[in-house]
Amino acid sequence: MSFVEGLSCRECGRMYPISAYNACEFCFGPLEVTYDYEAIKKVISRESIEAGPQTIWRYSDLLPTKATPNLDLGTGYTPLLRADHLASELGLRNLYIKDDTRNPTGSFKDRVVSVALSKARELGLKVAACPSTGNLANSVAAHAARAGMEAYIFVPANLEHNKIAMSAIFGGNLIAVDGNYDQVNRLCAELAMIHDNWAFVNVNVRPYYAEGSKTLAFEVVEQLGWQLPDHVVVPIASGSQLTKIHKGFNELATLGLSEENHVRISGAQALGCSPVAQAFLSNADYITPVKPDTIAKSLAIGNPADGWYALETIRKTGGGAAAVSDEELLEGIRLLAKTEGVFAETAGGVTIASLVKLVSSGVIKPDETVVAYITGNGLKTIEALGDKVGPTTTISPNIDSFEEFLHR
Amino acid sequence: MSVTVRIPTQLRSLTDGLAEVQVEGGTVKEVVTNLEQTYPGIGERLLDESGALRRFVNVYLVDEDIRFLQGLDTEINSGQSLSIVPAVAGG
């Protein structure tokens, strides 16, 4: 069952039928999936959701696929961890970590890819493709294998080794491009016009793909006992995830599943690629694209497609934005690991370091219920840690040697 | 000087289905003006009311986004091509 009405242009409102199409014919604005909320209201309830599978598909009434069946590697319903140690370190009372390191390929991208490729199959598309900074590549490769689809995955050639390996192992075509992500993205935008019967998950099927991120909002609210948090911190790459988390909170309120949405949304970026944070901090009404220079490669999008909407969402929800250095993000990874036992990739380090900044600058208030979205697993970006991690000591294989270390 | 311009799917209804067209122009702005003369209607799709490039349109001179160059005033050298690409992709 699907409650989708169609696609509408976010800029000018023109409507389009359901198809593999992502930009408005007239103004090039992004197309957004619209739903018949009155019809959904008649069938959905907290109980109907709670009776569903322990995956993103428990929210299938609010996703744009027909479930015939959906592609499923077990994505979603990841833990929402109460983070009391980190909270007391920062002077917060109620802090939670949405631990999306636990998805099948180790990042939130499994949410969007499950939806995108389920829809692609429904539309009769046989080839999966994407430009990626790594996490998406891992997820598309795995899901294409699961779906029996051919895959063409385009990544910057300088990607972390683990992300290359985790994309290649699933057997699709992995195309390393000599260029940065924005160049890979532009290449794919042009290729998608030539190979228009392929599913470029974040290009021509992007309207469906992006909807998958709403489940990050749905799960948090359900896991808080159907209460909205006061403030969430979300990393920004293209800006799509942040805007879709906002849409998710709105939908729950529209359907009467939660109280009215007053969640403040703050954005986290790496200083070496912070076009949205800089626009926010300088009060600009446009995003100036940048050439990325940061070890947070999964966030290194210099010309973010949804950057403008992310900026608008931060402003209208009363949130803030932070940009953190590579040094600060590495400290963020370490802080989260040692206080809460969660190992995040560089993007998670950006989120935690931004959380620290937003608390110390007073944007996040001590009495707010705060959720930080940790969207990728630390095992993927081990090399970013360099020589910052290693054994505490090296000893000889005898008791004396250890005791000597212990009483040093 | 004649410049090759790659046209995105969204605009091909205005270019008789052509994916590539040749127009005259020494800067990006001149190319857009001449595109409008040959293919009426294309100008308002690329530029907003103030004459600036629309937010969701990217234009590349060879491999570089013109926003990193001199925008619409970017000069085009002989043999260089322009690509018009919808911005809503990626991430």
Q: Which pLDDT score is estimated for A290?
A: 96
| Topology (CATH level 3) of domain A80-105+210-385 | Rossmann fold (3.40.50)
Question: Is B88 in Cβ contact with A304 (below 8 Å)?
Answer: no
DSSP state of B64: E
Does A208 lie at the interface with B, CB-CB under 8 angstroms?
Answer: no
pLDDT value at B89 more than 90: no
Q: What is the pLDDT of residues A232-269, one digit of tens each?
A: 999 999 999 999 999 999 999 999 999 999 999 999 99
**What is the Cα Rg of chain B in Å?**
12
The DSSP H or E segment spanning A367 is none
Token pair in block for residue B65: 């986004």
Predicted confidence (pLDDT) at residue B88 exceeds the cutoff of 90: no
User: B25 by DSSP, 3-state: which?
Assistant: coil
Q: How far apart are CA A74 and CA A65, in angstroms?
A: 16
Contact between residue A233 and residue A361 where contact means Cβ atoms under 8 Å apart: no
Q: Give phi and psi for A309, each to the nearest 5.
A: -70, -35
Instruction: List the domain boundaries for chain B.
Output: 2-86
Residue B62, judged by CB atoms within 10 A of its CB (0-12, 13-18, 19+), counts as exposed
pLDDT for the residue A395: 98
Q: List CB contacts (< 8 A) between B63 and chain A.
A: 179, 183
**Most B-contacting residue of A113, A193, A200 (CB-CB within 10 A), to test interface:** A193
Domain B2-86 belongs in CATH node 3.10.20.30 = yes
Rounded Cα distance, A179 and A154, in Å:
11
Q: Residue A213 above 70 pLDDT?
A: yes
Out of B19, B54, B83, whose CB is closest to A27?
B54
Best mutation site among B42, B48, B50, B88 for testing chain A: the one with the most A CBs within 10 Å? B88
Closest residue in B to A285 (Cα–Cα):
B55
Can you tell me the distance from the alpha carbon of A136 to that of B90, in angstroms, rounded to the nearest whole number? Answer: 10
- pLDDT category, A1, cuts 50, 70, 90? low
Q: For chain B, percent helix, then strand, then coil, each to nearest 5?
A: 25, 30, 45
The percent of chain A in helix, strand and coil, each rounded to the nearest 5, is 45, 15, 40
Contact A308 B10 (CB under 8 A): no
Minimal Cα distance from B87: which residue of A? A305
Q: pLDDT tens-digit profile of A154-199?
A: 999 999 899 999 999 999 999 999 999 999 999 999 999 999 999 9
pLDDT classification of A386: cutoffs 50, 70, 90: confident
Interface probe, candidates A186, A206, A236, chain B, greatest B C-beta count within 10 A? A186
Global pTM exceeds 0.80: yes
Residues 6 or more apart whose CB falls under 8 angstroms from that of A366 comprise A91, A92, A93, A359
pLDDT confidence band for B78 (50 / 70 / 90): confident
Domain ranges of chain A: 80-105+210-385
Specify the amino acid at residue B28: V
Per-residue pLDDT reduced to its tens digit, B23-58: 999 999 999 999 999 999 999 999 999 999 998 999
For residue B68, list chain A residues with Cβ-Cβ distance below 8 A: 289, 291
| Contact between A289 and B9 using a beta-carbon 8 Å cutoff | no
Q: What ipTM does the predicted assembly reach?
A: 0.94
